[in-house]
Amino acid sequence: MCDACDTVKLDRRGLMKLAGFGLAATALASSAQASDPAPKKADGHGADAHAADAHAAEAPAPKAKAAAHAEASSPMSPDKALAKLKEGNKRFIADANACAADLVSRREELAGGQHPWAIVLTCSDSRVTPELVFGGTTLGELFVIRNAGNVLDTGALGTIEYGAEHLHAPLIVVMGHKKCGAVSAACDVVKAGTKLPGSIGKMVEPILPVALATLYKSEDFVGQTILENARSGAARIMEESPMVAHLVHEGKVKIVPAVYDISTGEVEFYKPVMS
Ligand SMILES: [Zn+2]
């Protein structure tokens, strides 16, 4: 376990405070203290060190280990995180079967805390699995939120805030994908007035304004709506989360829309949301 990679861990009291339950948090504090260690100061993420360890032999050479620790002392930049995702996606396209993950050692290594270096909001579609699409990223690397249509609802936004503010992930990707059923359903509602059953209609509501704005502007109505839905989700993170917007203004976080092609395996990244 790398000491340099320890970061602030939210114990039960921290989580309650985050949720605004200060009094309940105080009441729980004494019982929490017995099992939860005191928070340590976060001074680095160490994802590179972990990634390097994950693919190296069990006992890395002292020189390599020292280099990994040196890198762990400074947090990963948003641009470096984006470059890692792009490299990983190239690996996936070139040879998807070669993307293995060293799960056993990673599991043991991460038992003390997580340090993900990218947050990914994407669709629940079973063909869109970020850990695979980005080159076999293993445990503890990506902080993933999934729902049909990669909708930025309250749960998604709160999860993104947690990943960016408390886990210090430097990159947020909102990734739609081609042939998305949820976006297609929203397009059907806008174009044909289709009524969707159960809670599905309510779920796709946030996509409707995007579909409406895209209608008649492209021959590929669904494809364009998929892209605009990812762009809109990325832009709304800035608009609706002062916490994340602050991190973006400081240059600590970037928000990037993307679209995954389920046929070719390629992820196309678009212009980051401007601060
Ligand atoms: Zn989808």
78 Cα–ligand 1 center, Å? 26
The dihedral built from the CA positions of residue 234, 237, 242 and 243, taken in this order, carries a sign that is negative
Q: Measured in angstroms, how far is the CA atom of residue 219 from the centroid of ligand 1? A: 20
CATH number of the domain that residue 209 is part of: 3.40.1050.10
Q: How far apart are CA 66 and CA 77, in angstroms?
A: 20
pLDDT of residue 96: 76
pLDDT, tens digit, 9 for 90 and up, residues 188-241: 999 999 999 999 999 999 999 999 999 999 999 999 999 999 999 999 999 999
270 CA distance to ligand 1 middle (Å): 18
Q: Say how many Å lie between the CA of residue 233 and the centre of ligand 1.
A: 14
61: in domain: no
What pLDDT is stored for residue 103 in this prediction?
A: 81
123 part of a folded domain: yes
* pLDDT per residue as tens, the chain (275 positions): 333 333 333 333 333 333 333 333 333 333 333 333 333 333 333 333 333 333 333 333 433 333 333 344 468 999 999 999 999 999 999 887 776 667 888 888 899 999 999 999 999 999 999 999 999 888 999 999 999 999 999 999 999 999 999 999 999 999 999 999 999 999 999 999 999 999 999 999 999 999 999 999 999 999 999 999 999 999 999 999 999 999 999 999 999 999 999 999 999 999 999 87
Does residue 36 sit within a domain?
A: no
Q: Is residue 66 part of a domain?
A: no
Domain that holds residue 123: 76-269
Query: Is residue 265, in this structure, part of any structural domain at all?
Result: yes
**Spatial CB neighbours of 20, under 8 Å, sequence gap ≥ 6:** none
Helices 154-161/221-240 angle, 10° precision: 60
Q: Residue 42 domain-assigned?
A: no
Tell me, in angstroms, the distance from the centre of ligand 1 to residue 163's CA: 22
Query: Which residue is associated with the tokens 């695979």?
Result: 132
**Span from the CA of 122 to the centroid of ligand 1 (angstroms):** 8
For residue 175, the model assigns a pLDDT of 98
Contact of 170 with 75, CB cutoff 8 Å:
yes
Q: Are 93 and 266 in contact (CB under 8 A)?
A: yes
Distance separating alpha carbons of residues 234 and 231, to the nearest angstrom: 5
Which residues crowd ion ligand 1, with CB under 5 Å?
Answer: 123, 125, 180, 182
Pairing of strands 267-269, 142-146: unpaired
Q: pTM score, two decimals?
A: 0.73
Instruction: Quote the ligand 1 centre to 146 CA distance (angstroms).
Output: 10
The domain total for the chain is 1
- The per-residue pLDDT for 39 is 36
Indicate the length of the chain as a whole number: 275
- Give residue 159 CA to ligand 1 midpoint distance, Å: 19
Q: Which pLDDT score, from 0 to 100, does residue 3 have?
A: 36
Distance (Å) from CA 193 to ligand 1 centroid: 20
- Is 33 a domain residue? no
